[in-house]
Structure 1
């Protein structure tokens, strides 16, 4: 396990600007999330099905718009996509200030997710182009660490700020953050990467990407396993606010739990950033088992009417975030290593579409189980699925991650 080169990665001026813009965008996203969750759970007293609809509003655009967005990212310059997508997010977030009810709010969430469907593949393409090839794990670790630091600070600050501010005030603040992110992206120089010619239809380009995927077995395995893992997470994750409420805890504890998960994610990203992990599926297996046990434990406590202390409740989300961070960075590095520069946008978008299929089914199944039995039952079921992911990942432990691709020993 060789030490990676974090300083070299962070000394790349272009990459620093990209990660700086991502930091602002991610902070705004997580601040929005706590504001949306709080206004639904504590302001409008929304039930489990509304939170399932929230998950669908956040994810459906990645399925409908995402694949086409990936084609466009592989056709056009990356810098303008990064700029315009942040401006679009600012406009959609500003409109949330004036949402009269949860129905309008969810429509606006869906519109903003449609814009974000362009940002995600563009960001991944930029990381692939700007990071040294032997430092992709470190670059992805830095990117994920930024996301998780935002997950720590934004919910904690947002939850505390709502003692004095309304969720609408937070939406207004987030609008300004998205504008600042767009301004920082404007400081990027043109990003050099190989693009598709754009001489055939968008659907033909998308077909080329699926054909490429069929020829890369390891990409199929990684995308499928990531999709099942997200299915497990989405089965229970949208029920975090109601679970917090059922334990008799407040929105402050909800924000602290999200922040604790972010702290674990930062730790996981740092581990992969400081060590060149060559067998990613072993990591995925171990952390899936850890996550599954922790999630099931929370569900068992809810069903057994065992109320955890605020410290225990929040503390359990540290290892859950750690596990999620290790798995996600591993998956992204496999994708960037295997996909070519002129394919990364489409492959990233396809991976987001796979995750969205999970998002469109798991939350509703989890909400149905929560209504039919209890919220804890949904958490136990999600944990069991995650344990199964760990078993499947362990069967792929012979795969070795190399700079030129992933090969089996």
Structure 2
């Protein structure tokens, strides 16, 4: 562990007194909301308006995720070369334009191409935001700031799809798309309130795009704490998405209703918000120990649920509801210290590309894990996909504990 983990007793108090951080968080709220506000409208247009084949929904998931894998790493390098404030502003402006074009799409291939384009523009925002958090905070403040930032992101994932569904009661999908474009434009306007963000060591590295991408990989390889954090983040996402798609059929097999499923999914999201905020205020001296405890608790619980399903033993609904909230809590509690390690271990001149590299690795895990989980469930039972996801989290806990002792 490097000296960047020296004890800094600032935290939430310092964030409250930092106008730049407050403005960044305020702008992040509509930026994150815009990621999910029109998701219900997209699904409704495809399912009810155009009545597409199920394959198109799989392609929608690919169109939403692939930009962060293909464009994201390049976006990170570009964000490291340019002023962060400008990158975040223009990312949201371009995202607003792409979203507005959704309203003009007349068939699903065009719509999915626009979804990919919007994701490509959005892939600039998160790396620049993570680099901004690093630039605007001292090492001891970053856990608290990451907790608040992740908490906002989790809250947006809870609120936005439901709000989008409510909007469809009064608006056509095209109108929802235009409204969501306005939300991204609002994020850009709020980002104008930020002063220019200065960074140490911001000189661009020699060489072209590929050389600078390779340099980011070399930095990750040469810093064990950084490579451990990136690996644990990818492992965590992979484990979750082995079983995440099967919550609905699992609850059906347990005899829970559709309404109860809705409450369960809300509990996972609310647990994620609580876990992010709790983790941001937890101790910062040994982040890998916190990651290990969170992944161990989550893995054990998910594996237990999977064994229960494999044995056809349904838990009581209140127990399953509470367990779902706890899984959301522990998942977020592991992610906050991971992000903090990445920020504390990465040189400022490379922070955006390192954040983009993390996003790309996560996306690869997210896109591959559901198919592996489906293969496990198809060959055995749904429960075994949950057991596999829990086992991956437990492996992550072991690796995190080893990193803590290194």
Q: Which residue in the other structure is 1:68 paired with?
A: 74
- The alignment partner of 2:75 has SS state of helix
- 8 Å CA contact 2:225, 2:403 repeated in 1: no
Q: 1:120 to 1:255 in 2, by over 3 A?
A: farther
The corresponding residue for 1:16 is 22
Match of 1:153 among 140, 154, 159: 159
Match of residue 57, structure 1, among 55, 63, 68: 63
Which piece of structure 1 moves more, 127-136 or 26-35?
A: 26-35
| CA distance in structure 1 between the aligned counterparts of 2:73 and 2:140, rounded to whole angstroms | 28
Match of 2:338 in 1: 331
Moved more, 118-127 or 354-363: 354-363
Residues 210-219 or 258-267, more deviating: 258-267
List runs of 5+ in structure 1 lacking aligned partners: 399-407
Deviation at 1:397, TM superposition (A): 2.9
In the alignment, structure 1 residue 5 sits paired with structure 2 residue 20? no
1:174 shift after superposition: 2.1
Deviation of 1:255 after TM superposition, in Å, equals: 5.3
Distance 1:259-1:64 versus aligned 2 partners, 3 A rule: same
Matched, 1:28 2:34: yes
Q: CA deviation at 1:115?
A: 1.5
- Spell out, residue by residue over 1:84-132, the C-alpha distance to the aligned partner (whole angstroms, 9 max, x if none): 1112222333344455666555443322221121111000011111123
Aligned residues: 397
Query: In the superposition, relative to structure 1, how do residues 162 and 322 fare at CA in structure 2: closer, same or farther (>3 Å)?
Result: farther
Provide the C-alpha distance between the structure 2 equivalents of 1:243 and 1:103, rounded to a whole number of angstroms.
Answer: 32
1:11-49 deviations in whole A, cap 9, x for unaligned? Answer: 2111111111111111222334455567778985975x7
Task: Give how far 1:376 is off.
Answer: 4.1
Q: Which residue matches 1:206?
A: 213
Alignment of 1:221-240 (within 5 A): 221-240=228-247
Change (3 A) 1:198 1:113: same
CA RMSD for the aligned pairs? 3.2
User: What are the within-5 Å matches in structure 2 for residues 363-374 of structure 1?
Assistant: 363-374=370-381
Corresponding residue for 2:3? none
Q: Is the 8 A contact 1:228 1:389 kept in 2?
A: yes
Q: Distance in 2 between matches of 1:12 and 1:285?
A: 31
- Measured at CA, do residues 193 and 323 of structure 1 come closer, stay the same or move farther in structure 2, by a change above 3 Å? same
Q: How far has the Cα of 1:317 moved from its partner? A: 2.8
- Bigger drift between 165-174 and 384-393 goes to 165-174
Structure-2 separation of matches of 1:254 and 1:166: 27
Which residue in the other structure is 1:381 paired with? 388
1:293-312 map, 5 Å:
293-300=300-307
CA change 1:315–1:108 in 2 (3 A) is farther
Question: 2:173, 2:232 → 1: CA distance?
Answer: 36
Quickly say closer, same or farther: Cα 1:168–1:368, change in 2 above 3 A: farther
- 1:317 and 1:46 map into 2 onto residues whose CA distance is 31
- How far apart, in 1, do the equivalents of 2:166 and 2:333 lie? 29
Q: 1:359 to 1:149 in 2, by over 3 A?
A: closer
Tell me if structure 1 keeps the 8 A contact 2:8–2:139. no
Aligned equivalents of 1:378 and 1:169: distance in 2? 39
Consecutive unaligned residues in structure 2, runs of 5 or more? 1-6
Residue 321 (structure 1) shift: 1.5
* 1:302-329 Cα distance to aligned partner (Å, 9 max, x none): 5566677776655433112111111111
Contact 1:151–1:258 (8 Å) recurs in 2: no
- Cα distance change on mapping 1:199 and 1:96 into 2, 3 Å: same
**2:93 corresponds to:** 87
Q: Paired residue for 2:182?
A: 176
Structure 1 contact 52–364 (Cα < 8 Å) conserved: no
The alignment partner of 2:199 has SS state of coil
Q: TM-score, normalised on structure 2?
A: 0.85
TM-score (norm 1): 0.84
Q: Using a 3 Å threshold, how does the CA distance of structure 1 residues 264 and 13 change in structure 2: closer, same or farther? A: same
Question: What is the CA-CA distance between 1:342 and the residue it aligns to?
Answer: 0.3
Q: What is the match of residue 288 of structure 1?
A: 295
Structure-2 change in CA distance of 1:283 and 1:256 (3 Å): same
Name which of 218, 221, 226 aligns with 1:219.
226
Instruction: Note if contact 2:76-2:356 (Cα within 8 Å) is conserved in structure 1.
Output: yes
Could you tell me which of 365, 369, 372 is aligned with 1:358? 365
- Between 1:192-201 and 1:6-15, the stretch displaced more is 192-201
Q: In structure 2, what is the equivalent of residue 403 of structure 1? A: none
